[in-house]
Amino acid sequence: MDINSLLSSFQRSDYQRDNFDAFLKKVRFSFSLPAIHIAGTNGKGSTASYLAAIYQQNGYKVGRFTSPYLFEVNEMIVVNGTPISDDDFLNIFNEYEKLFRKYDLSAFEIETLIAFNYFMKEACDICVIECGMGGEIDATNIFVPILSIITSISLEHTDFLGHTISEIAEQKCGIIKDKIPLLIDEFDQDAVATIYKEAKNKQTPIHFIKKHIETSFDKKGISFQYHPFGLVHLNSFAPYACQDACFALEATLLLRDQFPIKVEETVNALGNVFMECRFEIIDNVILDGGHNTEAAKEVVSAINQYTNKPIHVIFACFKDKNLGSLLSYYGSLGDDLTLTTFHHPRARTQDEYFLFLGDYQFVENPIQLLKDKMEEYPDDIILITGSIAFVAYMKKEALKNV
């Protein structure tokens, strides 16, 4: 049976941990592998991918759990670069299915349980675990990590996490554990104050990533200097990727006594990581799922550094996104921004763009829209953005033969 379809029947929409905690108590589940726990509004998935690549390159068996997936659920659960097989996923699912349904678990809670179970079965040396949303009551927050990382804090998922930076920071601080080191960057003053308060209560040592220097571009991507690794090259043209890589590099320094790494292997690993749908360039099309205000700001900055060609934006997003804020950033790239929709139950339709239809054109068929733009503007840049799910959909359905 198709796993994506199977999990679609688990659609509990509330945000709580009561059901999952009751389930975990029933099955007496615990996760004790050495693991790094990552929360943050943006950058946590890329940081997880960079960390997993570094440790794999250095000879460790690495489990990586990230969300959301682009094409298949299996992508979320990876050991040494290989996604979990359908058979392995279904074997664990079938073992617990009756209890999954009895306790009315969400799809993400099920995916988390299967990932942790699979990593233990595979006897991973180290795991890298990305929070789904928030931290305090996230389904992944059921273990004591060897390092906690918070990559960024900004306003997103306000219906679930809070309406201020402090409230959102408090949720993300839920991954902070007693005396377990925490790695962060220089955040908003309110966020830092919240983090410091929680860290003091937990006797948690706080560490900061260092600033990377001497950023430069070539035909293959972006390079920067980071002490003590020297010159680091990334397979990306997005400056925001540098910060994600710095989180990964600094994390390995904090854990080097427990998990030694070699500088050359580490730098090589970062250069080989390719992040799909994150400033991914195909012909004259840029794909980036910058789906919140902070991400949109970074994408616009990256494009302005990457090219001075005219930009044509194709935009679609979910119903719960801050549409006005997103369009204010992407609209700043030029006069040509077209709204559209795609096949997803959470996607905005034409009626749900009604406040902005006086400013932007709406085209129902995004695939035909892209085809028309590519034919009309073969020498310009076309940006596909607004939602990670939309970007993945367009890569799979519209760019598969490009």
CA distances from residue 200 to 80, 195, 266 in whole angstroms, order as listed: 36, 8, 32
Mean pLDDT of the chain: 93
Confirm if 387 and 393 have CB atoms less than 8 A apart. no
Kindly report, residue by residue over 214-273, the tens digit of the pLDDT. 889 998 999 999 999 999 999 999 999 999 999 999 999 999 999 999 999 999 999 999
User: Whole-structure pTM over 0.75, yes or no?
Assistant: yes
* Beta strand extents in 147-262 (DSSP E only): 147-150, 182-184, 206-208, 213-218, 221-226, 230-234
* 110-132 per-position pLDDT tens digit: 999 999 999 999 999 999 999 99
> What percentage of residues in the chain have a pLDDT greater than 70?
97
Give the per-residue pLDDT at 189: 79
Predicted local distance difference test score (pLDDT) of residue 155 = 54
Q: Which amino acid is at 322?
A: N
Query: Beta strands 213-218 and 221-226: pairing type?
Result: antiparallel
CA-to-CA distance for 229 and 311, rounded, in angstroms?
Answer: 36
Residue 158, pLDDT > 60, answer: no
What pLDDT score was predicted for residue 136?
87
Q: Which residue, among 306, 280, 288, 286, has the nearest Cα to 374 in the 3D structure?
A: 286
